[in-house]
Amino acid sequence: MHLLLRTRRLEVDSPQLAADKKSPELDLGFIPLIGQKILDKNISMGAIIEHRFFAVTDSCPDQIILEKIKEQIRYVGISSSVLSTDFGQVGNNCPIEGFLYFLEKMQTLGFSEGELHVMSHDNPKKLIDRKKIQPNKQGVQMYKVTTETVLSVNINKVRCITGHSEIAKDYNSYLSDESRLAHKGAEYLFFPKDETELSSVFREMSKRGIKIVLSSARTGLVGGAVPYGGAIVSLEKFNKFLDLRYDSHLKEWLVRTQCAVIMRDLNDRTMKKNFPGLTENGSSGTKAFLEKYRESKGTYFYPPDPTEMGAYIGGTVATNASGARTYRYGATRNWVRLLRVMLASGEVLEIPRGKYFASPDGEFIITDSKGNKTTVKIPMYSMPLTKNAAGIFSTPNMDLIDLFIGSEGILGAITEVEVALHEWNQFISIIQFFPSNEKAINFVIALRKEKTIRPEFIEFYSSHALNLLREKQKEDPKVVGMPPIPDYANSAIFFDIQFDPEEKNSDFSKLKKVVSSCGSNLTKSWAAYEQRDMQRFKDFRHILPETLNSIIAERKKKIPELHKLGTDFAVPNEKLKEIWEFYKSSLEKEGLEWLAFGHIGNNHFHVNVLPKSLDEMKTGLSIYKEFAKKAVSLGGTISAEHGIGKIKKDFFPIMFSQETINAMKAVKIAFDPGLMINPGDMFDI
Amino acid sequence: MNSDRLKNISDNQCKSVAKKLIQMKILICVKQVPEITDIKINPETGTLIREGVDSILNPFCEYAVEKALELKEKNDNAETVAISMGPPQAKSVLMRCLEMGIDRAILLADRKFAGADTWATALTIARAIKAIEGNFDLILVGKQAIDGDTAQVGPELSEILGIPQIMYCTNLDLTSNKKKVRGTREIETGKETLEAKLPCLISVSMGPMIRRIPSLNEILDARKKPFKIITSSDIDTDESEIGLKGSLTQVIKVFPPQLKKQGIIIQDSEPADAAKKMIEFLRERNFV
């Protein structure tokens, strides 16, 4: 149940009273007014607290009010907060300007763009959506969905490799993914070429009681696509672009593709405005939009960037992939507008965003073509405030589409997606070097507060990470593709900001100030704005995990049980320093070889341990559990982007209660009662 | 006004004038080209498809810039000037030169220059150098542009200016008295080093494996360096000599070169190892 509770602040409501007190310590708090116990109880019952910035600014300094609001929000939590102002009176700013002013101020007080979005968009939407969920014109409630039947074909027509030895011989790469997790064999490898063939495979396997694992580009890091017996269903033939259109209501360009379109191709096509398949085979409507798209002045791109651009779009949706650009644009979820999902029954759900919402009791009712009804009850738990890829998504009155995004394929196979594009601006990529890890972290904190600098992403290279790249440069400078890393560099921050190469007097004075306040200067940097050089910067970032993987692969030859230990934890903004110190002191105490890199903008850098022996591996694993617990205790997540798959199941109970896990399992069972798809992923049933 | 301060200023001014007089001047001629990985030719018209293709500084020209910067460091901060002829967009490649460390840039941009072949290009640049720069010590050019591959503008430029040329250098340096330049070039049988009196033109065929990356400071500073745009009216020339009218050659057809597969040279010193590798190679291709 949602309860709208407005915090009234007597002093601010009565400017005269505030003026009389004039004390900077003036208590504008809500707690004395409504009572802490009542508040706590309401929050625990799911109340949403409105934090209102009053348009009374003369008598009471903004800063005190704002800091008080910050305190309030941090107390009740982002997920329980809504921001508002009462601007608009004669002599005051108009409501929009007043609200923007409020948001900007909150950003300088350390709230991230994502947090502000939750409080200004998502939470208000939740409140409003409740009222929207009314029976529509046909009297059908929007939590009721019907699946489509798909024509079946003879299973023998589907290309299939039979027998484990045959698969191991010529199709070895289908047996593992980037996690390098050991497989348990597979008896069939199917290559369905469309939904009819896929449906036949699902029906046949279901009939014969054979489990299947869905296989996309196998770029996942948690073994989601690694077979544990049964059949592998490769979706690689679903690689067509289907449609391009402009949604005048949402005011955005949308691209619809099959699930196996490669991320790199998607961005290449959208940015170069070149869609060969659509030019030839698109409908006349698509062709008209294509023409309009080419003529439009802007350049567009698909913002989610999982670093590994060889991934398939379907895989990125199934895992709610995030990456560096999540800092600015959020994870994949924010960009998905439609999905087609094939369920275990072989029937298809088409889910446009904004059409199907959970009932007030948190249920969806799925009806199949024969009229059989299944009730899906969404798990009720509160999601972490950070970016997150652990578990099945849940919010009250959630959109059905969100249940599938990030579900790791355990509920069905995503066959088609429609995603939104965003306008591409000219950027400059900067790798700024710092004298120590701590200075680099200070820079990140300072940069986030500087509201006029809006980085696309903020990435971290720890001192050990730079050393690893230095080693690599010594071996073969060409592989790294960058000039020698300067000797003075003991850490680096990689970020992108808007830049106009034509502008003679770009103002970078703010950045200059922030950089020099953190012990460095702009000459101690690398910068690039040409596409080809920006690509080099990206490669310089991507080469880190690749190098780690190859080091581990080498060590594995001697000790096969060894594997990489990489964290995927994220914490809220204000906990960045704390978690860094925790990681660092724990790892140094044990004397392990380690390094850190990645999405520090979201307080989500990856700490990697490179064990040299089984003992070190054991130590590493136990430290990892400690890390996970610490991250969760700080309000973070055990998996910000890699997902759970087969590798991180052990961490699952650290984050979720048994009750929540059971609720997630119930969702799986509702959609896939035979537990056919992706067995062993996310949890064991 | 304080007379001491006045004296200081004039001293400094004298020094800077004197420095300019003895300072070496190196000109670097550069070209804007489409990024090679993207080159596609429209099969119907036979012309390059430029839509969505990035323009970059020709890699060989970038090598010439690198050599100029090397010389600049070694020779009392020689003055370096980058020159290009092209449409206004070609400004971006001159900007890249300035970011790398070149001191100033000149762009020859005029509709009347359009359609120039290698001869008309070389002639226009030669006239511009005479009119705008006057004296110079060295001209550096890239061995060829990666779009047309003609390798003609450099040699033609030296002929028109009447100065010696050393082509396809992999390395170059000044003699100790700085009156001559030595260029080392790769030829089929090995290497040869040629020496020429300054002023002289040198084309560069090799540079660092890894392209330089400027700092953010260098990128911002580059935008404040002197940048001159020159039109046909600034140089002493007749319209019949420049652009399409002044061109002696004409492109009839453009087509991509047929890609030849690169061979493999087996370099093992042991004949037995070499033979093994060769057999393996042939086996892989089912020849044996």
Across the interface, whether the CB atoms of A272 and B211 are under 8 A apart is answered no
Architecture of domain A142-423+658-685: 2-Layer Sandwich (3.30)
Across the interface, whether the CB atoms of B215 and A522 are under 8 A apart is answered yes
Domain residue spans of chain A: 4-132, 142-423+658-685, 427-647
The pLDDT of residue A684 is: 92
pTM of the model: 0.73
The pLDDT of residue B18 is: 59
Nearest-CB residue to B52 (from A273, A505, A524): A273
Compute the nearest-CA separation of A475 from chain B (Å): 14
Across the interface, whether the CB atoms of B214 and A527 are under 8 A apart is answered yes
For A377-436, write each residue's pLDDT tens digit: 999 888 787 888 889 999 888 999 999 999 999 999 999 999 999 998 889 999 999 999
Contacts of A133 (CB under 8 A, 6+ apart): A141, A142, A143, A357, A359, A360, A397
From chain B, the residues in CB contact with A539 under 8 A are none
Would you say B93 and B32 are in contact if contact means Cβ atoms under 8 Å apart? Answer: yes
β pairing state of A422-424 and A299-301: antiparallel
**Which residue type, as a one-letter code, is found at position A117?**
H
> Which CATH superfamily groups domain B23-258?
HUPs (3.40.50.620)
For residue B218, the chain A residue with the least C-alpha distance is: A523
With bands split at pLDDT 50, 70 and 90, how would you rate the model's confidence at B264? confident
Mean pLDDT, rounded, for B122-149: 93
For residue B93, the chain A residue with the least C-alpha distance is: A530
For A437-482, write each residue's pLDDT tens digit: 999 999 999 999 998 898 999 999 999 999 999 999 999 999 899 9
- Mean pLDDT across chain B: 87
From chain A, the residues in CB contact with B215 under 8 A are 522-527
Beta carbons within 10 angstroms of residue A220's beta carbon: 30
Mean pLDDT, rounded, for A308-324: 93
From chain A, the residues in CB contact with B35 under 8 A are 531-532
Domain residue spans of chain B: 23-258
**For residue A247, is it left (φ>0), alpha (ψ between -120 and 50) or beta?**
beta
Distances (CA, A) of A320 to A306, A391, A407, A536, A570: 10, 11, 8, 26, 15
For residue A429, the chain B residue with the least C-alpha distance is: B216
- Alpha-carbon distance of A678 to A680, in angstroms, equals 6
With bands split at pLDDT 50, 70 and 90, how would you rate the model's confidence at A69? confident
Lowest mean pLDDT among A5-19, A520-534, A616-630, B221-235: A5-19
Within an 8 Å CB–CB cutoff, is residue B220 touching chain A? Answer: yes
Q: What are the DSSP calls for A196-255, one per residue? A: HHHHHHHHHHHHHT--EEEESS---SS-TT---SSEEEE-TT---EEEEEEETTTTEEEE
Tokens 């029954």 locate to A345
**pLDDT: is A367 or A106 the higher one?**
A367
Mean pLDDT, rounded, for A104-112: 84
The pLDDT of residue A20 is: 44
Residue A598 token pair: 């990645």
pLDDT at A58 over 60: no
- Alpha-carbon distance of A235 to A191, in angstroms, equals 7
Residue A509 token pair: 């004075």
From chain B, the residues in CB contact with A434 under 8 A are none
CATH 3.40.462.10 for domain A427-647, yes or no, is yes
The pLDDT of residue A385 is: 74
Would you say B84 and B125 are in contact if contact means Cβ atoms under 8 Å apart? Answer: no
Across the interface, whether the CB atoms of B223 and A272 are under 8 A apart is answered no
**DSSP bridge pairs for A243:** A256
For A137-154, write each residue's pLDDT tens digit: 444 458 889 999 988 899
The pLDDT of residue A397 is: 84
Would you say A257 and A266 are in contact if contact means Cβ atoms under 8 Å apart? Answer: yes
The pLDDT of residue A26 is: 35
Nearest to B26 by CA among B198, B207, B208, B194: B198
For A189-242, write each residue's pLDDT tens digit: 999 999 999 999 999 999 999 999 999 999 998 999 999 999 999 999 999 999
Compute the nearest-CA separation of B224 from chain A (Å): 7
**pLDDT: is A586 or B37 the higher one?**
A586
Would you say A123 and A116 are in contact if contact means Cβ atoms under 8 Å apart? Answer: no
What percent of chain B shows pLDDT beyond 90? 58
Would you say A516 and A443 are in contact if contact means Cβ atoms under 8 Å apart? Answer: no
Across the interface, whether the CB atoms of B219 and A526 are under 8 A apart is answered no
Nearest-CB residue to B56 (from A274, A504, A530): A530
With bands split at pLDDT 50, 70 and 90, how would you rate the model's confidence at A25? very low
- Alpha-carbon distance of B128 to A430, in angstroms, equals 37
Compute the nearest-CA separation of B217 from chain A (Å): 5
Interface of A with B (CB under 8 A): 271-274, 428, 430, 432, 477-478, 481-483, 501, 503-506, 508, 521-533, 536
Tokens 């798990």 locate to A379
